[in-house]
């Protein structure tokens, strides 16, 4: 490894220690949770955003469940212990690779309600109405999570015991869990929104402190209905009625029929090759798989390692690739059930080479359009799971913004997503992540909004190699991309690859965003001279990765040091 690489290892060890100690110290010397950021084991691994969810996933694996079983239990657990993004009122995507090498992708993305229409967030002058697509009842799409989990269970469960998978989340909701310092801070910060967009009592009211117990009785009852009735426990009966009653209180659109008609879908994953590896990722309605495939193909002809890690040359190359990829995203990507996405063309190496034909090694090109802001937000969640049988799940799930629409279903105890903002509410008008779009991603009844979520799995020599994903809105694609090249091109371990500082660019705004320590002053100056604009921002992504090496005998789990994420294995 280079001297720079060694320096990183040093920094990472120190950061890991600080993060670990930080999480362990609470209520005097009592550890709140036993959080581990890096684990090397030989069989199974669970890496999630919250130690309670990691614990539950591991318990399911130890009880004989497979990666799909564990991922269902983790999804439900996160809805309780990580409500900022974990959910039953949202949606997500699963990439599943079984131990025979078969790969599947499950789309449990939310859908626009049947009453939705293209201009629904615009006023009479066709201008966007402030916060209408991001807060409150009208921001919510029809949730997909419970249908998705039930579908995955029916096809791939090994335990074949749905109740066993839901029960740990019920226990967590009934008995409560201790909120971390970060969580207490978030619950306090969102109190105004919770008041503004809710009329019914809920569990989040009040002033929160680290270590305080959060008990969610209404959520426990909803989860019991899901436990006892499967999919119907959410989409029909009492839960559905509570959800529709909530809609009626706040001018929302979701109806009982919308809930009954929701269907998650198995889709063909996007597959691409990169330096001899096979990369498996999410197809539309996520842009993630196509964009990741394009980025990898665009940089593949260049020797990134020789250019140097986060050197002016490599950052320039990557940013120029990102400019082209995000421009394509805005134009061509949307729900494939509504818009014919040219997947084969966009992912062909011939096409990506032609897109890079005008790449100038010395000069930045220009994204000519109005600038848009990028909101910093960590509020999606990813988890990576490997079971002892060699099956792996890469799963990203979200409410979109922090606590979604911030509306909680009265009596149901769960947050509703604000995923409708992922549509292009007006051509060229940026969404909360600064992403623009047009026809392909306009609002239409029953359509899925375009996503950036990029749950991914990489194979090496036909065997499982990397399981990876992250939250981060538009930065998801670039964070997954950087983690993969960190491992493949820069020879990093999973821990080094996950903890390494990141940068991001997305065509519009025409800017390189970077974490505090991502680019040296020299690199920043060289990039400015090439014509790039740079802007330092807060943390980018929270990557959860698993790296499998030595013929499957060594399994490294890496949980991002940027938050409370926890990796455990056996
Ligand atoms: O599907 C998407 O791309 C977004 N709804 C993801 C939102 C997200 O990652 C928020 N966290 N930063």
Pocket test for ligand 1, best of 289, 330, 380, 399 (most atoms within 8 A of CB): 380
- Ligand 1 atom closest to Cα of 287? 3
- CA-CA distances (angstroms) from residue 330 to 15, 429, 507? 37, 11, 10
Q: What is the pLDDT of residue 12?
A: 42
Q: Could you tell me if the CB of 495 is within 6 A of ligand 1? A: no
Ligand 1 and 313: CB distance under 6 A:
no
Tokens of 227: 């436990």
**Residue whose CA lies nearest to ligand 1 atom number 1:** 451
Whether 140 and 416 have beta carbons less than 8 Å apart is answered as yes
Ligand 1 pocket check: which of 473, 537, 538, 541 to mutate, most ligand atoms within 8 Å of Cβ? 473
C-alpha span between 311 and 300 (Å, rounded)? 17
Does the reported pTM lie above 0.85? yes
Give the mean pLDDT per block of 10 residues along the chain (570 residues): 40 40 46 95 97 98 98 99 98 98 98 98 97 97 99 98 98 98 97 98 97 98 98 98 98 97 98 98 98 98 98 98 95 96 96 95 82 58 98 98 98 98 95 93 98 98 98 97 98 98 96 97 98 97 96 94 97
Question: In the prediction, which pLDDT does 376 show?
Answer: 58
CA 263 to ligand 1 centroid distance, Å: 21
The span from the CA of 322 to the CA of 374, in Å, is 15
* Ligand 1 proximity of 474 Cβ (cutoff 6 Å): no
Q: What is the pLDDT of residue 367?
A: 86
Where do the DSSP E strands lie in 133-234?
177-178, 213-214
291 lines ligand 1 (CB under 6 A): no
Residues marked active site are found at 380
| 421 Cα nearest atom in ligand 1 | 5
Residue 453 CA to ligand 1 centre (angstroms): 7
- pLDDT, position 200: 98
Neighbours of 308 (CB within 10 A): 15
As a whole number of angstroms, the longest Cα–Cα distance in the chain is: 63
- For ligand 1, atom 9, name the residue with the nearest CA: 473
**According to the model, what pLDDT value does residue 30 have?**
73
User: What pLDDT does residue 29 have?
Assistant: 55
Specify the pLDDT at position 379.
81
Task: Please name the residue whose Cα sits nearest to atom 6 of ligand 1.
Answer: 473
- The answer to whether the peptide bond before residue 509 is cis (omega within 30 degrees of 0) is yes
For ligand 1, say whether the CB of 398 is within 6 Å of any of its atoms.
yes
Distance between Cα 473 and ligand 1 center (Å): 4
Q: Residue 377: CB within 6 Å of ligand 1?
A: yes
Distance between Cα 507 and ligand 1 center (Å): 18
């Amino acid at each position: 490894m280079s001297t720079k690489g060694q320096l990183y290892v040093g920094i990472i060890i120190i950061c890991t220690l600080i993060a670990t100690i930080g999480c362990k110290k609470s209520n005097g010397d009592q550890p709140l949770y036993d959080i581990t950021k890096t684990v090397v084991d030989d069989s199974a691994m669970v890496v999630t955003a919250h130690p309670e969810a990691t614990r539950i996933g591991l318990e399911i694996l130890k009880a004989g469940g497979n990666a799909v079983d564990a991922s269902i239990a983790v999804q439900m657990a996160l809805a309780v212990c990580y409500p900022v993004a974990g959910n039953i009122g949202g949606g997500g995507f699963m990439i599943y690779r079984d131990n025979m090498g078969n790969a599947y992708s499950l789309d449990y993305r939310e859908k626009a309600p049947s009453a939705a229409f293209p201009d629904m967030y615009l006023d009479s002058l066709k201008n966007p109405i402030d916060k209408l697509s991001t807060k409150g009842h009208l921001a919510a799409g029809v949730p997909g999570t419970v249908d998705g989990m039930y579908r995955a269970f029916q096809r791939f469960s090994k335990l074949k015991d749905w109740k066993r998978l839901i029960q740990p989340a019920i226990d967590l909701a009934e008995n409560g869990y201790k909120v971390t310092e970060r969580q207490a801070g978030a619950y306090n910060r969102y109190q105004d929104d919770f008041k503004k967009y809710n009329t019914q009592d809920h569990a989040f009211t009040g002033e929160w402190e680290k270590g305080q117990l959060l008990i969610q009785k209404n959520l426990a009852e909803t989860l019991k209905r899901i436990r006892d009735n499967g999919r119907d426990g959410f989409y029909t009966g009492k839960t559905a009625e509570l959800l529709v009653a909530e809609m009626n209180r706040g001018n929302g659109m979701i109806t009982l029929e919308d809930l009954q008609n929701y269907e998650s879908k198995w889709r063909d994953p996007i597959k691409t090759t990169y330096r001899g590896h096979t990369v498996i990722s999410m197809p539309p309605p996520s842009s993630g798989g196509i964009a990741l495939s394009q980025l990898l193909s665009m940089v593949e002809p260049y020797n990134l390692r020789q250019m140097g890690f986060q050197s002016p040359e490599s950052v320039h190359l990557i940013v120029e690739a990102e400019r082209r990829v995000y421009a394509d995203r805005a134009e061509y990507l949307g729900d494939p059930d509504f818009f014919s996405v040219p997947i084969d063309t966009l992912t062909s190496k011939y096409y990506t080479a032609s897109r890079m034909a005008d790449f100038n090694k010395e000069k930045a090109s220009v994204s000519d359009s109005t600038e848009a802001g990028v909101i910093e937000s960590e509020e999606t969640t990813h988890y990576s799971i490997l079971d002892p049988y060699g099956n792996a799940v890469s799963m990203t799930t979200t409410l979109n913004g922090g606590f979604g629409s911030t509306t909680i279903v009265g009596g149901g105890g769960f947050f509703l997503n604000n995923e409708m903002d992922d549509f292009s509410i007006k051509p060229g008008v940026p969404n909360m992540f600064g992403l623009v779009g047009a026809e392909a991603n306009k609002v239409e009844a029953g359509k899925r909004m375009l996503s950036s979520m990029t749950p991914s799995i990489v194979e090496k020599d036909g065997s499982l190699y990397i399981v990876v994903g992250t939250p981060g809105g538009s930065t998801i694609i670039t964070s997954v991309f950087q983690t993969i090249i960190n491992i493949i091109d820069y020879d990093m371990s999973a821990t080094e690859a996950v903890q390494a500082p990141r940068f991001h660019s997305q065509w519009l705004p025409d800017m390189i965003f970077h974490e505090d320590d991502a680019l040296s002053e020299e690199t920043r100056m060289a990039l400015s001279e090439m014509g790039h604009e740079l802007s330092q921002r807060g943390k980018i992504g929270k990557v959860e990765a698993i790296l499998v090496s030595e013929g499957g005998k060594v399994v490294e789990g890496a949980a991002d040091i940027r938050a409370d994420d926890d990796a455990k294995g056996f």
